[in-house]
Amino acid sequence: MLQAKSSRAWATIIGWLTAPVLLISAIAAQAPTSTIAPSKGSPVPPVVIKIDEKRFAELIKPNGKPLLINFWATWCEPCREEFPSLVKIDAEYKEKIDFITISLDFEEELNTGVPKFLAAMKATMPTYLLITPDETAAISMVSKDWAGGLPFTVLYESGGKISYFRQGIVRHDILQKEIDKVLTVPAVIPTQIVELPLLRQIRSIDDGIADAKRDVAKGEYSLFRYGFSPSVPEEFFDGLKTKYSVSVRRSGCFIPVEGEEYVKGYNQTVISTLAERHGEKMRGLLAFANQ
């Protein structure tokens, strides 16, 4: 884990092309690197929750509101420089968006350096410490465009689409504009996806034959009509009902929910029965149902 954290620190510092001594001191000390101490009367250090990769995947999904996430670490100087602006953003958009921060600090900072830093910043947004053996996998969950450098800020629309991201310090005014943009996007309301009958061939031709025989035995004659069959006057169907006691089940241009094979078996069985009873003319008369 120390090696992974050190590699991450190195990637961040290289990304910023600034003093590599930050990395050297972080590795050598293996201790809290925050130099900001809570001032007298500052709030009690916030609770920082340790999370694994599974919980991390859940956190980065919006829950009905735009979601802003900032990735940072106490050993990252640009992160510390940026943080007061993020605290201000949190105050400005309370209740309008969800805002969390995820620290990539060492695990031993869970109850020391990280909460002390947050208390000094007077931060109130939820903060999590990500502990994972594969940070590359966690990074790829967020964005393919994130190279792993810190700080990294990403803004999601309520539906989960990334609206804005930046690797590096964010400008307060730009972040404001980006948040205001996503707040104008209508909230995504979960809807039930209805499977169209066209995709539901769930019953067999044998099922259709068996059901048709059962209905015919009870004196019930009906036929399925669906698809782009030629237009038939309404009076024609009224005549079938009056003269032959045959009703027609209509499904518009969709295959009935029972499925195409089922309907084929059902219709052919009913048509054959009616042809035996009233003559072969019935086959031509009922051709609309012989898909």
One digit per residue, the tens of pLDDT, for the chain of length 291 reads: 333 454 445 444 334 433 333 332 333 333 333 333 334 444 444 778 888 888 998 998 998 899 999 999 999 999 999 999 999 999 999 999 999 999 999 888 888 899 999 999 999 999 999 988 777 777 888 887 787 788 999 999 998 999 999 999 999 999 999 999 999 877 655 444 444 433 444 678 898 899 999 999 998 999 887 765 556 677 888 888 888 898 887 755 556 767 788 888 999 999 999 999 999 988 888 887 765
Residue 273, number of CB atoms within 10 A of its CB: 17
N-term to C-term CA, the chain: 66
Three-state secondary structure call for residue 99? strand
CB neighbour burial string for 150-162, b if at least 16 within 10 angstroms, e if fewer: bbbbbbbbbeeee
> Which stretches within the chain are classed as H helix?
2-16, 21-29, 53-59, 77-92, 113-121, 135-142, 172-183, 205-217, 234-244, 260-278, 281-285
- Can you give the pLDDT at residue 215? 92
Question: CA angle at residue 33 from 142 to 173, to 5 degrees?
Answer: 50
Pairing assessment for the beta strands 162-167 and 152-156 based on DSSP bridges: antiparallel
Query: Are 127 and 105 within 8 A, CB to CB?
Result: no
Q: How far apart are CA 83 and CA 3, in angstroms?
A: 26
- Can you give the pLDDT at residue 94? 93
Query: Are 253 and 227 within 8 A, CB to CB?
Result: yes
Fill in the DSSP letter of residue 158: T
Q: Output the pTM of the full model.
A: 0.52
- Can you give the pLDDT at residue 28? 34
Query: Are 77 and 22 within 8 A, CB to CB?
Result: yes
- Can you give the pLDDT at residue 239? 86
Question: CA angle at residue 255 from 252 to 260, to 5 degrees?
Answer: 150
